[in-house]
Structure 1
Amino acid sequence: MKAAIRIYDGLILAMALVAALMLVWLMVSIVLSVTMRNLGVQPFAWLFTSSEYALLYMTMLGSPWLVREKGHVHIELVTAALPGPARRVVSRSVSALCVLVCVILAWKGGELFMTNVERRDFDVRAYFTPKWILTIAFPISFGLMAVEFGRYVFGRELLHSGEAGIHD
């Protein structure tokens, strides 16, 4: 069981690292594209397309890690005002709702992925790219986010700290 947990944790971290590298790629591709345009050269077609794909993948791959690290935006004014037992109920309820939303989005993302595979859909721009390459990220990422939110529903740690304001 510990090996499976280590593999899972490694997967979440690896996805976050790939997302971070894609952020670096976005910076490089934008600088390269702007420089090429300023020099009067037409930027490569794949430069723009890869940037668009990186935006999607960066968001999807980094999200499970962000949930784990409580790095997403949320406001704790309400939970800070609640007593401990009520805060736990509210926090676990919010986490359970997040699990439900992520499961639905993972399910629908899986359906979209399967539809793209069955129809052999392509993203037609500079290149013909199979759409499933884009949509495979939805069931994987939302499924892993559901697991991460589930840790706040059933685990010892709560999603909300109950402390309003900015904390490092």
Structure 2
Amino acid sequence: MINKAYLTVLYAMAFLSGATLVWLMISVVASVLMRNAGLQPFAWLFTSAEYGLLYMTMLGAPWLVREKGHVHIELVTSALPPAARRIVSRGVAVACVAVCLILAWKGVDLVLTNIERGDVDTRAYYFPRWMLTITFPISFGLMAIEFSRFVFGSDLMHTGEAGIHE
């Protein structure tokens, strides 16, 4: 039950990330067309694209870790024997978990500071800053969970195959 709820959240975040990518394309094309027509693009159009870049990146990252879609280099691991590759791969995953946990913790601190101060982003419209920074602890927390699957699970992050494999 918990696993199903977790996967639902993870895939919903990935879907929102993909939808945001579509919005980015629409907003950029609309902005360019408006400029070429001699019109001033709406201020919120540019701001929503900026926000969208953050949301797209942060919401899609945990799913990318789960799918091994993040960038990593197999040059070293491909030269290692299987036992050493397992040790190195799990060690890298431990380091990734540690970094993600630190960033999630700092993200919580940032969100709480934004709420406490009442920080507002005031470019095109007033937008509570915590609504932007809330993505940090959520996404880095979920990435820590996903990287921990490579620490404790049977699946390794590294395949040991150098080059592009799709």
Shorter-chain TM range is over 0.9
Q: Deviations over 1:39-80 (max 9, x none)?
A: 111111110110000000000000000000110111101101
1:12 to 6, 10, 13: 10
**Post-superposition offset of 1:7:** 0.9
Gaps of 5+ in 1: none
The SS at the match of 2:24 is helix
* In structure 1, distance between residues paired with 2:93 and 2:3: 21
**Post-superposition offset of 1:10:** 1.1
Equivalent residue number for residue 98 of structure 2? 100
* In structure 1, distance between residues paired with 2:9 and 2:154: 22
* In structure 1, distance between residues paired with 2:19 and 2:126: 24
Alignment of 1:121 with 2:119, yes or no, is: yes
Alignment of 1:40 with 2:26, yes or no, is: no
Instruction: Among all aligned residue pairs of Structure 1 and Structure 2, give the percentage whose two residues are the same amino acid.
Output: 66
* In structure 1, distance between residues paired with 2:52 and 2:115: 21
2:71 to 45, 70, 73: 73
Equivalent residue number for residue 55 of structure 1? 53
* In structure 1, distance between residues paired with 2:108 and 2:121: 18
Equivalent residue number for residue 161 of structure 2? 163
* In structure 2, distance between residues paired with 1:62 and 1:97: 20
2:26 to 28, 33, 36: 28
Which structure 1 residue ranges, 4+ long, deviate > 3 Å from structure 2?
none
Gaps of 5+ in 2: none
